[in-house]
Amino acid sequence: MNNSFNSVDLCTVTLLGNLVAKPEIRYQANPVVAIAELTLATHSRWYDKSSQKFKEWTSFHTIKVIGDAVEQALIHADKGDVLLIQGYLLNSKKSDREIIHATFAQSYNKGYAQSLNQVQCCGRIVSAVKLVTTEKNIELAEFFIEINHQVYSPITQKLRSFLIKRPVHLWGKQASYIKNNAQENDSVVVDGKLNYLKDANKSQFIEAKQVDLLKK
């Protein structure tokens, strides 16, 4: 962890989905703090023109919750309950995973709710922009964004700084614009959803709906 950052970036994730299992809750001493880990499922549904059918994709998010939100929202939560969380992206050193650390959680009774999966962040581009064209003649741009953000720790009761890096995928006309105009170290604001690569670690990436390129 490096505390010598020049600026602080936005990094926020909002999810609404269903609990895959009852949250695992434990307590840490000195000070006594509740900690919960859970898996939340969100669903995406779209119309596939080639098959002329609706398709659905389920994403499974690993989430860690610390502090009052655990006892306020998760003590009685169970498998299938609807859960709303807001937090930030995090690299878990303990488990060597890319997860979400929730700072807010609210549970609701079991049932169907249209999922929310939103990521808003800003940072700087730290790679070359790669542009590929799919078999359906759609352009895809991929680049890495580095995000420096600060959060308040209920354990240390201090602000902590985190530096994380995530790939960003951007489709369509915006893809060629970013390829032609973006350079490493340029600042960007990204609005999209959280998705996962099909690798052994299920690494996170941001599937962008909009990327704003900002020159300093």
Q: In the numeric block, which tokens belong to residue 111?
A: 């049932």
pLDDT at 113: 84
pLDDT at 49: 73
The rounded percent of the chain whose pLDDT value lies above 70 is: 97
112 three-class SS: coil
Complete domains list, the chain, with CATH: 11-115 (2.40.50.140), 119-214 (2.40.50.140)
pLDDT at 216: 66
What is the pTM (predicted TM-score) of this model? Answer: 0.90
**pLDDT digit string, tens, across residues 65-85:** 999 999 899 999 999 999 999
Q: Residue 166 pLDDT > 90, yes or no? A: yes
pLDDT at 4: 43
**pLDDT digit string, tens, across residues 9-43:** 999 999 999 999 999 999 988 888 999 999 999 99
Alpha-carbon Rg for the chain, nearest whole angstrom, is: 18
Residues 6+ apart with CB under 8 A from 202: 97, 98, 196
User: Are 90 and 162 within 8 A, CB to CB?
Assistant: yes
Q: In the numeric block, which tokens belong to residue 142?
A: 């991929």
**pLDDT digit string, tens, across residues 172-216:** 999 999 999 999 999 999 999 999 998 888 999 999 999 999 976
DSSP state of 111: S
User: Between vectors from CA 2 to CA 67 and to CA 202, what angle results, nearest 5°?
Assistant: 65
> What is d(CA 68, CA 51) in angstroms, rounded to the nearest whole number?
47
Which residues on adjacent β-strands are paired with residue 193?
207
Higher per-residue confidence, 202 vs 157 = 202
